[in-house]
């Protein structure tokens, strides 16, 4: 095989050792699940309000900071989790009271800019309350690995996969089978129409921001268990963006499938092609992959195609 074909087929040649190939596949899929956990928070808010929440990454950080902070104060883990959920609900109420209620029916760009401001505030607020030190976050997620058939799998990633599956199931039921869920979807379609049929917009926004905050807590816990809780955690949102582009901004299954495709695609690319081109290609490769999908399906794999009659 010539050098050219060796390069082209590099991601496939990984499977010359099937155990290593499977390790790349499994690691890629499980890394993708970790991205999906972050992407889900974006999807929830976009689905219910048509708003792209720039602050979602900081929300992940803020939730993890509170949890690590409460645990650091000696509060038992279950109570610390409950307290953090309480903080996230309180935060949702404050956001609705101070920001969202004043922006009903505004252009999406106005809502987007409001979340930019929120992101900067929340980041500084978290730092003010809890300090800048790196915090260990141990909520009992098993560390280490096991190796069935010589394929290495890490417990943390496996746990993240299980948690994501459970989370998606709960969210799917919530959105599709409950009255509040249907109301959320109605609000997403048209604020004014939803108001006219008696849906309380303010309550809906509080609920969706609170749920998004709890999803952020789950994502922050998983990522924080890996790297410790620190301010770069907010930058994890950048890993969720290609997932959203690919999966669609308003689809929960899209966030999961998108995450899996991105995770697998970038790992195959990095391990396969990376050594030929100096490495560190996975970040931009994820965006390239997402853009390829965008060209053929602008609304994303699972996004709703918007048809506006003029």
Partner 1 sequence: MRLKGLTLGLAAAVAATGIAAPAVQAADSQYFPLLTYRTGPYAPNGIPFANGTIDYFNYVNLKHGGVNGVKLVWEECETAYNTKKGVECFERLKGKGATVVYPNSTGITYKLIPNAPKDKVVILSSGYGRTDASDGRVFPWVFTAPTTYWSQASAFIKYIGAQEGGMDKLKGKKIALIYHNSAYGKEPIRTLNLLARKLGYKLTTLAVNHPGQEQKATWLQIRRDRPDWILLWGWGVMNQVAIKEAINTGFNLERMIGVWWSGAETDVVPSGAAAKGYKAGTFHAAGGDFPLFHDIKKVVYGAGKGFKDGEKYIGQVLWNRGILTGVITTEAMRNAQKKFGVKRVNGDQMRWGFENLNLTESRLAELGLKGFTKGIKITCADHEGNGPVLIQQWDGKKWNIISDFISPMQEVVRPLIEKSAAAYAKANKITPRKC
Residue 233 is given by DSSP the state: G
Binding status of residue 233 toward partner 1 by CB under 8 A: yes
What residues between 164 and 223 interact with partner 1 by CB under 8 A?
A: 223
CB-nearer residue toward partner 1: 151 or 180? 151
Token pair listed for 111: 């809502």
Query: In the set 76, 86, 97, 132, which binds partner 1 (CB under 8 A)?
Result: 132
- 160 Cβ contact list (under 8 Å, min separation 6): 30, 33, 34, 37, 222
Binding status of residue 96 toward partner 1 by CB under 8 A: no
Q: Is there a contact between 91 and 213 (Cβ–Cβ < 8 Å)?
A: yes
Minimum distance from residue 150 beta carbon to partner 1 (Å): 11
CB-nearer residue toward partner 1: 87 or 217? 87
229: Cα separation from own chain's centroid: 16
CB-nearer residue toward partner 1: 49 or 234? 234
CB-nearer residue toward partner 1: 75 or 301? 75
Query: In the set 76, 86, 117, 131, which binds partner 1 (CB under 8 A)?
Result: 131
Q: Report d(CA 185, CA 182) in Å as an integer.
A: 5
Question: Exposure string (b/e) for 65-86, b if CB count within 10 Å is 16 or more?
Answer: bbbbbbbbeebeeeebbebbbe
Minimum distance from residue 18 beta carbon to partner 1 (Å): 13
Query: In the set 235, 276, 288, 298, which binds partner 1 (CB under 8 A)?
Result: 235
Task: Of 298, 227, 175, 281, give the one whose Cα is nearest residue 34.
Answer: 227
Binding status of residue 264 toward partner 1 by CB under 8 A: no
Q: Report d(CA 118, CA 120) in Å as an integer.
A: 6
Q: What is the CA radius of gyration of the chain?
A: 20
Binding status of residue 73 toward partner 1 by CB under 8 A: yes
Task: Of 279, 50, 293, 19, give the one whose Cα is nearest residue 185.
Answer: 50
- Residue whose token pair is 């609705």: 96
Minimum distance from residue 203 beta carbon to partner 1 (Å): 29
- Residue whose token pair is 């496996």: 158
Token pair listed for 82: 């409950």
What residues between 16 and 45 interact with partner 1 by CB under 8 A?
A: 17, 20, 23-24, 27-28, 31, 34
Minimum distance from residue 113 beta carbon to partner 1 (Å): 22
Q: Report d(CA 296, CA 310) in Å as an integer.
A: 24
Query: In the set 76, 86, 279, 298, which binds partner 1 (CB under 8 A)?
Result: 279
Minimum distance from residue 172 beta carbon to partner 1 (Å): 26
Query: In the set 121, 283, 288, 298, which binds partner 1 (CB under 8 A)?
Result: 283
Binding status of residue 47 toward partner 1 by CB under 8 A: no
Measure the CA dihedral 54/57/60/66, to 10°: -80
Query: In the set 46, 130, 205, 302, which binds partner 1 (CB under 8 A)?
Result: 130
Q: Report d(CA 53, CA 237) in Å as an integer.
A: 10
**For residue 175, how many other CB atoms are within 10 A of its CB?**
18
Binding status of residue 62 toward partner 1 by CB under 8 A: no
Binding status of residue 79 toward partner 1 by CB under 8 A: no
Binding status of residue 58 toward partner 1 by CB under 8 A: no
Q: Which spans of this chain sit near partner 1 (rule: CB under 8 A)?
A: 17, 20, 23-24, 27-28, 31, 34, 69, 73, 124, 127-137, 143-145, 152, 154, 156, 223, 226-228, 230-233, 235-236, 239, 266-267, 270-271, 274-275, 278-280, 282-283
């Amino acid at each position: 095989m010539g050098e050219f074909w060796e390069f082209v087929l590099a991601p496939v040649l990984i499977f010359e050792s099937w155990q290593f190939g499977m390790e790349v596949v499994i690691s890629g899929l499980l890394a993708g699940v970790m991205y999906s956990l972050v992407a889900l928070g974006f999807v929830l808010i976009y689905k219910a309000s048509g708003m792209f929440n720039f602050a979602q990454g900081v929300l992940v950080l803020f939730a993890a900071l509170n949890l690590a902070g409460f645990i650091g104060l000696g509060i038992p883990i279950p109570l610390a989790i409950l307290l953090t959920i309480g903080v996230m609900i309180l935060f949702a109420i404050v956001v609705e009271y101070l920001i969202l209620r004043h922006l009903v029916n505004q252009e999406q760009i106005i809502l987007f800019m409001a979340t930019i401001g929120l992101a900067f505030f929340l980041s500084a607020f978290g730092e003010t309350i809890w300090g800048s030190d790196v915090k260990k976050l141990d909520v009992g997620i098993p560390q280490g690995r096991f190796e069935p058939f010589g394929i290495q799998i890490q417990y943390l990633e496996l746990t993240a996969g299980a948690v994501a599956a459970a989370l998606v199931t709960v969210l799917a039921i919530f959105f599709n089978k409950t009255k509040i869920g249907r109301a959320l979807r109605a609000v997403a379609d048209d604020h004014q129409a939803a108001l006219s049929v008696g849906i309380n917009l303010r309550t809906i926004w509080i609920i969706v921001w609170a749920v998004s905050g709890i999803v952020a807590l789950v994502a922050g816990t998983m990522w924080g268990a890996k790297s410790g809780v620190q301010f770069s955690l907010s930058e994890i949102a950048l890993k969720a963006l290609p997932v959203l582009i690919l999966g669609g901004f308003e689809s929960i299954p899209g966030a999961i499938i998108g995450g899996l495709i991105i995770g697998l695609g970038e790992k195959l690319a990095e391990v396969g092609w990376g050594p030929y081109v100096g490495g560190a290609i996975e970040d931009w490769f994820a965006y390239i992959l997402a853009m390829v999908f965008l060209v053929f399906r602008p609304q994303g794999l699972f996004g709703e195609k918007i048809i506006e009659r003029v």
